[in-house]
Amino acid sequence: MDKNLPGDSTPPRPKWRKVAYGGMQIGYDDNYTDETFLEEMVMNANVVRRDLLKAMKDSVSISQYLSIVALVVLVWFHTLESSLDEHSLLLLDLSLLALGFLVLLLTEEKMLSFTLLCRYLVNITFFTTGLYILAPVYQTLTRSISSDSIWAVTVCLLLLHLFLHDYSGSTIRAPGALLKSPSLTSCISVNASIVASVFVASRLPSRGHVFAVMLFSLQVFLFAPLVAYCIKKFSVGLHLGFSFALMGLTMYSVYVLHRLFFVLFLVLVVVVNVVCPYWLIRMQEYKFEINGPWDEAKLCFDITD
Amino acid sequence: MAEPKLRVLMVSDFFFPNFGGVENHIYYLSQCLLKLGHKVVVMTHAYGNRTGVRYMTGGLKVYYVPWRPFAMQNTFPTVYGTLPIVRTILIRERITVVHGHQAFSTLCHEALMHARTMGYRVVFTDHSLYGFADVGSIHMNKVLQFSLADIDQAICVSHTSKENTVLRSGLPPAKVFMIPNAVDTAMFRPADVRPSADVVITIVVISRLVYRKGADLLVEVIPEVCRLYPNVRFVVGGDGPKHVRLEEMREKHSLQDRVEMLGAVPHSRVRSVLVTGHIFLNSSLTEAFCIAILEAASCGLLTVSTRVGGVPEVLPDDMVVLAEPDPDDMVRAIEKAISILPSINPEEMHNRMKKLYSWQDVAKRTEIVYDRALKCSNRNLLERLSRFLSCGAWAGKVFCMVMIIDYLLWRLLQLLQPDDDIEEAPDINFLH
């Protein structure tokens, strides 16, 4: 600026100040915009840069659970087709229970005490007995409703279950784990899956079938997320291996059942594990955050105490 | 009788009998513009059974249009519902400039849109700050962008507010003027006999007790200051959801005799509460301007305030102690304020405030903005539509549709009730 050079006829005007008092500043209109305008604006200050590999790794949890649900549906299908009898189903239930229990035991940091073990056994006994007594009720629950409606509702409930499922944690907590109340959506999700199991069980021919299928579904829907969560917490490598094994098993079983379903499932897994993470990373560059002195101040202490 | 220079219509949902910064601003600005020889008409929504036309001091005509507020003193947004009555008022009062106030007043946005459709010059004053991060803000910012896309001039109450408005609306900065609020120094004058600060120092807080006004900060700061200074007492005026928390704090620290809770203080009594104190404490978390500080300073109180929004611009550095909005820093600021308190002369501070802020000055500066608005070239509908179209891929098209329909409705109204059929109101000058 050459306004202060000697010989300049206009007197040097006072420096503009960013103040509101004292009326209109001499030499400056009210719409004067200084170079300091928007100087304090900060862009994208809190943006977290994500990388593709991590996003893909995290998405494995989702496809793992998709496989689990697909396997449950396969078991339902085979039971309804009578290609799985109730004895092998009960055997499956027992082995799953034992396996799950073993995983919990092995991944737990502290050793289980004898009393806790007894409590587990008592709980399981109560649970199975209750289910066995209620089996006849489940069997006749929806007799007056047509099968088509039941299938339609079951599919909807399963979709709701998948949509609201808590993929990052587990709705059911291990005993002694830090109690953080599960969110409403994950509770709705668990309930949707249980209702879907009851509906499917009510189409089965015998009381034994109903009991076996109900036990199986409840075991998987309630405890599979917990087991998967424990494995993931224990070791990420094991988690990935377990997930890929499950996905492989599911793909094989679906392939045997129907080609079209296999293709659909494959596409779904690819979308979840590759396309969506890539898309997320691509969209990061459109992130545009503006902060400045006009933002509401955040309190640096907890106000709920 | 002399013809008024300009005929201004002030539009906002917020007006007397409601009380607040915007209401005050409109009232005082209108009064001063009337004195400058303009004609001013105010349009707001009905308050209780207060509907129709009322006259206030100095012949300020107020239209309380019969629309009920539905939430937070706002009328229900109908987009086109207010077109007939806005058109009638504009023609009846032979308005030349329409001046809308406050970004979250629906009545203001609708009136500005109709006025633009009918080819009137419009000016808008933004009194608040908005963030950019949450859904509510994003929606409000889009509405503001629509309203300001075709505006002639805009006014903001502080430089920070101007930066905020420019970012939110995408207006060129040269179109946005900074004209602050002011204070009625005749009303807010220091006490004739100031209570001595030697024995007891009184700290006054007057604000709504809500989260945004930093009531939670008060809960942390007050006990700490009381612990450090046995001769300090607090007077807290105002009511709100955080009232209970303050009461709890008072009981927990046994400060019943040192923290006085007054409950809601009507605006007419604010001065009498302020003059009982020595220091005014403002704990807002966000503030575009903060008139409360001006009122306190005009009463000769030293101000301690959080450094948020436009607050640092409001007072010269020797009249205010600023602190970051965290309890420790605020306690330090209060310590500093107590240490410089003996050097404060309320009478002198009051006289300085008289020079720093006056509504006459605000009115004169606003007059300049009106003149600029009148000098803007008036564009036809097609030229204006292109401005709306540039507001966004989807929003632009929606905005255009809204404007086209408004234009068609206006033409239809002209057919149903030609402009000539609307009787013009006579200008009555109450000042002579």
A219 plus A262 within the same structural domain: no
Nearest residue of chain A to residue B352 (CA atoms): A22
B chain contacts of residue A299, beta-carbon cutoff 8 Å: 216-217, 285, 325-326
Q: Can you read off the two tokens belonging to residue B121? A: 């010059």
Q: Are B97 and B111 in contact (CB under 8 A)?
A: no
HSE value, Cβ hemisphere, 13 Å, CA-based, for A25 = 20
Q: What is the mean pLDDT of residues B304-315?
A: 93
Q: Can the peptide bond before residue B17 be classed as cis, meaning omega within 30 degrees of 0?
A: yes
A57 plus A174 within the same structural domain: no
**Most B CBs within 10 Å, among A32, A290, A296, to test the B interface:** A296
Q: Which candidate, B265, B247, B267, places its Cα nearest to that of B256?
A: B247
* A22 CA: distance to closest CA in chain B (Å): 4
CB atoms within 10 A of CB B68: 11
Q: Is there a contact between B220 and A296 if contact means CB atoms under 8 Å apart?
A: no
Residue A132, domain member (yes or no): yes
Cβ of A22 under 8 Å from any chain B Cβ?
yes
Residue A117, domain member (yes or no): yes
Nearest residue of chain B to residue A303 (CA atoms): B216
Residue A98, domain member (yes or no): yes
A chain contacts of residue B173, beta-carbon cutoff 8 Å: 31, 33, 37
A100 plus A187 within the same structural domain: yes
The mean pLDDT value of chain B amounts to 91
A115 plus A223 within the same structural domain: yes
Cβ of A286 under 8 Å from any chain B Cβ?
no
Q: CA B378 to CA B368: how far, in whole Å? A: 18
Q: Is there a contact between B285 and A297 if contact means CB atoms under 8 Å apart?
A: yes
Q: Are B285 and B214 in contact (CB under 8 A)?
A: yes
Each as own residue / partner, the long-range contacts of residues B428-431 (CB below 8 Å, 24 or more positions apart, any chain) are: B428/B59, B429/B1, B429/B2, B429/B4, B429/B59, B430/B58, B430/B59, B431/B34, B431/B35, B431/B58, B431/B59
- Those of residues 193-232 in A touching chain B at CB distance below 8 A are none
Range of the domain at A120: 85-234
**What fold is seen in the domain B7-182+360-421?**
Rossmann fold (3.40.50)
A111 plus A210 within the same structural domain: yes
Q: CA B41 to CA B60: how far, in whole Å? A: 6
pLDDT tens for the 305 residues of chain A, in order: 444 444 444 567 788 888 888 888 888 888 888 888 888 888 887 777 778 898 898 899 999 999 999 999 999 999 998 888 889 999 999 999 999 888 888 887 666 677 877 888 898 899 999 999 999 999 988 889 999 999 999 999 999 999 999 888 776 766 555 556 678 888 999 999 999 999 999 988 889 999 999 999 999 998 898 888 888 888 889 999 999 999 999 999 999 999 999 999 999 999 999 999 999 998 888 888 888 888 888 888 776 54
HSE value, Cβ hemisphere, 13 Å, CA-based, for A16 = 14
Given A21, A33, A294, which is nearest B164 (Cβ)? A294
pLDDT of residue B89: 95
Q: Degrees (nearest 5) of the Cα angle A23, A27, A29?
A: 65
Q: Is there a contact between B368 and A30 if contact means CB atoms under 8 Å apart?
A: yes
Cβ of A24 under 8 Å from any chain B Cβ?
yes
Q: To which residue do tokens 């949902």 refer?
A: B13
Which class in CATH covers the domain with range B201-357? Answer: alpha beta
Q: What is the mean pLDDT of residues B237-266?
A: 93
Counted domains in chain A: 2
Q: Are B126 and B165 in contact (CB under 8 A)?
A: yes
Pairing of strands B69-71, B60-65: unpaired
Residue type at position B269: R
Q: CA B73 to CA B197: how far, in whole Å? A: 41
Cβ of B355 under 8 Å from any chain A Cβ?
yes
- What is the domain partition of chain B in residue ranges? 7-182+360-421, 201-357
* B174 CA: distance to closest CA in chain A (Å): 5
Max avg pLDDT among A171-185, B238-252, B369-383: B238-252
A197 plus A228 within the same structural domain: yes
The three-class DSSP label of residue A156 is helix
Cβ of A295 under 8 Å from any chain B Cβ?
yes
Residue A2, domain member (yes or no): no
A211 plus A243 within the same structural domain: no
Residue B64: in which H helix or E strand, if any?
A: strand B60-65
ipTM: 0.80
Residue A274, domain member (yes or no): yes
For A220-279, what is each residue's pLDDT tens digit? 998 898 888 888 888 889 999 999 999 999 999 999 999 999 999 999 999 999 999 999
A113 plus A125 within the same structural domain: yes
Task: Provide the H-helix boundaries in B262-310.
Answer: 270-274, 291-298
CB atoms within 10 A of CB B341: 14
Q: Is there a contact between A31 and B173 if contact means CB atoms under 8 Å apart?
A: yes
Residue A25, domain member (yes or no): no
A chain contacts of residue B220, beta-carbon cutoff 8 Å: 301
A66 plus A127 within the same structural domain: no
Within 8 A by CB and 6+ apart from B81, the residues are B67, B110
A229 plus A239 within the same structural domain: no
Asked if residue B76 has pLDDT above 60, the reply is: yes
Given A38, A290, A301, which is nearest B132 (Cβ)? A290
Q: What is the DSSP letter of B174?
A: G
Q: Are B218 and B246 in contact (CB under 8 A)?
A: yes
* A291 CA: distance to closest CA in chain B (Å): 8
Q: CA B128 to CA B215: how far, in whole Å? A: 19
Q: Is there a contact between B325 and A23 if contact means CB atoms under 8 Å apart?
A: no
- Those of residues 115-174 in A touching chain B at CB distance below 8 A are none
A187 plus A147 within the same structural domain: yes
Q: Can you read off the two tokens belonging to residue B213? A: 């006004």
The reply to whether B201-357 shares the fold of B7-182+360-421 is yes
A113 plus A187 within the same structural domain: yes
B chain contacts of residue A290, beta-carbon cutoff 8 Å: 132, 167
Cβ of A292 under 8 Å from any chain B Cβ?
yes
- Of A206, A234, A262, which closes a domain? A234
Residue A297, domain member (yes or no): no
